[in-house]
Every structure is written in C-alpha cells, then in structure tokens.
C-alpha cells in the first residue's frame, strides 16, 4: 500500500475533535492549524460556563469537563487572554469582559502615558475525551507590544485585541496578518500545535 493510501486509512483521518467556542475567529484559526496537522476540527458553537479564576488552566480544565459532560464527544476548549506588563497582567482572564466594555480604545487610553508597552497573549487549550483520566492542557504564548492606535489590513481583519497587538517578531499587528501568518506566531497556533503533536501520538 502506498504511503498516501495508508495515511487516508489511518483512524486519525476520520477522527474529529470538537472545538467548543462561541468565537468564530478563534475557530477559523484553530481549524487551519489542526488541518495542517491532519486533524479535523469541528465547531460546537456554545458557551461553556467559565468559573471565576485568575488561572487560565483552571478555567479551561473545568470548562472542558463540563463540555464533555454535555456532549460526550472529544472536545477542546480554549481560554485565552492578554496580559499587559505595566498593568500587572490585567486584563488577563478578564480579557473578554474588558474587550466588550472598554475595547481597544479603552486599553490604549489606559496606557496613554506609559512607555513600557510590553504584553503577552496566552492561550490555554484543554482537551478531554472518553477514557482519559484527566483533561490534557497545552499552553502557548506570544510576547509583543501594545501600539498607540489600531492598525488592520481591512476592516474585516482580526478580532479582539488583534489591531493593537504587534508581536516582537514582526512590524505588523495581528490584524494586518493573514490567518496563516498569525498562526505562525500566535499563542493559539502554538498551543494547538502542541496539542496536535500529542494527539497524533495517541492514535
Ligand atoms: P470562547 O470563550 O467562547 O471560546 P471568547 O471570545 O470568550 O470565546 P477567550 O475567553 O478565550 O474567548 O478570550 C478572551 C478574549 O481575549 C477574547 O474575547 C478576545 O477579546 C481576546 N483574545 C483572545 N485571543 C485573542 C486573539 O488571538 N486576538 C485578539 N484578541 C484575543
């Protein structure tokens, strides 16, 4: 049997992992990373309850167990956040709320007279499926700077804090990069690649 035929017959090819999220942009990024690794990522559009905690891993672990209890499918959930050095890690686990309330303009304002613009995006991916003893967690991070005004390629590019976050590796913000380019540097791309490497060894 040729190598290609073997790959197509492997159980991994027919296996789908479900990404439980309400955020289509996160899913689109995740799907691209997973498919490059030969994993099919389905979207379960739902909001799993998130506990109040300042630890992303704790939030993701609890959410993935709740998602599995509901759907009895192999699932991943992600908890991500932007940690600004000068704000002692704020908004971190409160990023979704801060984005919804004060948004990018609010964050720029908070950092108005601040020289140190350093910030880190962190992603915590938790996976759980039948017969697994406990959720598996994978972390990715990317360090960059918060710029002083929003920059995006087109009005439809990027989401959340993407237009104000410039990773150290490039002079462009996340919202000026294609999904494929963003995945190369991003917290999500790194966490999902780690998950994929581990997952492929399971098969
Ligand atoms: P789900 O919980 O439904 O997956 P969410 O949008 O609430 O979606 P998170 O809790 O993981 O996602 O992330 C919190 C917020 O952090 C998110 O709403 C964005 O505002 C911001 N964020 C996370 N990852 C980001 C990224 O790659 N680019 C820009 N902003 C991001």
Cα(200)–Cα(35) distance, rounded to whole angstroms? 12
Three-state DSSP class for 94? coil
pLDDT at 203: 66
pLDDT-wise least confident of 46-50, 106-110, 172-176, 183-187: 46-50
**Binning pLDDT at 50, 70 and 90, where does residue 202 land?**
confident
Vertex 42, ends 41 and 48: CA angle to 5°?
Answer: 110
Residue 2 alpha carbon to ligand 1 centre in Å? 42
Provide the terminal-to-terminal Cα distance of the chain, rounded to the nearest Å. 19
- Ligand 1 atom 1 nearest Cα: 21
The CA 26 to ligand 1 mean position distance, Å, reads 7
Strands 118-128 and 165-167: unpaired
Tell which wins on pLDDT, 202 or 93.
93
pLDDT higher for 153 or 171? 171
- pLDDT single digits (tens) 11-35: 444 479 999 999 999 999 999 999 9
Run of H or E including 96 = helix 95-101
pLDDT interval class at 4 (50, 70, 90): very low
Q: What is the pLDDT of residues 76-113, one digit of tens each?
A: 999 999 999 999 999 999 999 999 999 999 999 999 99
- Protein residues with CB under 6 Å of any ligand 1 atom: 21-23, 26, 47, 78-82, 95-96, 99, 159-162, 174, 186, 188
pLDDT tens track for 35-69: 999 999 999 999 877 777 778 889 999 999 999 99
Confidence class of residue 9 from pLDDT cuts 50, 70 and 90? very low
Q: How far apart are CA 115 and CA 100, in angstroms?
A: 25
Q: Quote the ligand 1 centre to 160 CA distance (angstroms).
A: 7
* 79 counts as catalytic: yes
Q: How confident is the model at residue 193 (pLDDT cuts 50, 70, 90)?
A: very high
Q: Which of 160, 187, 190 is the best mutation target for the ligand 1 pocket, counting ligand atoms within 8 Å of the beta carbon and taking the most?
A: 160
Q: CATH assignment of 2-200?
A: 3.90.950.10
Query: Which pLDDT tens digit goes with each residue over 108-126?
Result: 999 999 999 999 999 999 9
Query: What angle (nearest 5°) sits at the alpha carbon of residue 9, between those of residues 6 and 34?
Result: 95
Listed by start position, the domains of the chain span: 2-200
Q: How far is the CA of 130 from the centre of ligand 1 (A)?
A: 27
The active-site residue, picked from 79, 85, 130, 162, is 79
- Per-residue confidence (pLDDT) for residue 64, from 0 to 100: 96
Ligand 1 atom with least separation from CA of 91: 16
Across the chain, which distance is largest between two alpha carbons, in Å?
65
What pLDDT is stored for residue 105 in this prediction?
A: 98
Report CA Rg, the chain: 18
Predicted local distance difference test score (pLDDT) of residue 50: 73
């Amino acid at each position: 049997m040729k190598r290609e035929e073997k790959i197509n017959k492997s159980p991994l090819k027919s296996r789908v992992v479900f990404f439980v999220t309400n955020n289509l942009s996160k899913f689109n990024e995740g799907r691209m990373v997973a498919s490059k690794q030969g994993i099919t990522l389905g979207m379960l559009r739902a909001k799993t309850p998130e506990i109040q905690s300042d630890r992303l891993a704790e939030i993701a672990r609890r959410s993935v167990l709740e998602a599995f209890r509901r759907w009895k499918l192999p699932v991943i959930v992600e908890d991500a956040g932007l940690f600004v050095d000068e704000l002692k890690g704020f908004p971190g686990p409160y990023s979704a709320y801060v984005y919804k309330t004060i948004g990018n303009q609010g964050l720029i304002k908070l950092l108005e007279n601040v020289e140190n613009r350093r910030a880190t995006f962190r992603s915590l991916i938790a996976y759980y499926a039948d017969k697994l003893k406990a959720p598996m967690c994978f972390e990715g991070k990317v360090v960059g700077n918060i710029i002083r005004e929003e920059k995006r390629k087109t009005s439809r590019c990027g989401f959340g804090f993407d237009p104000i976050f410039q990773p150290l590796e490039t002079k462009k913000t996340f919202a000026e990069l294609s999904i494929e380019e963003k995945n190369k540097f991003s917290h999500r791309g790194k966490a999902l690649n780690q998950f994929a490497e581990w997952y492929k060894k399971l098969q």
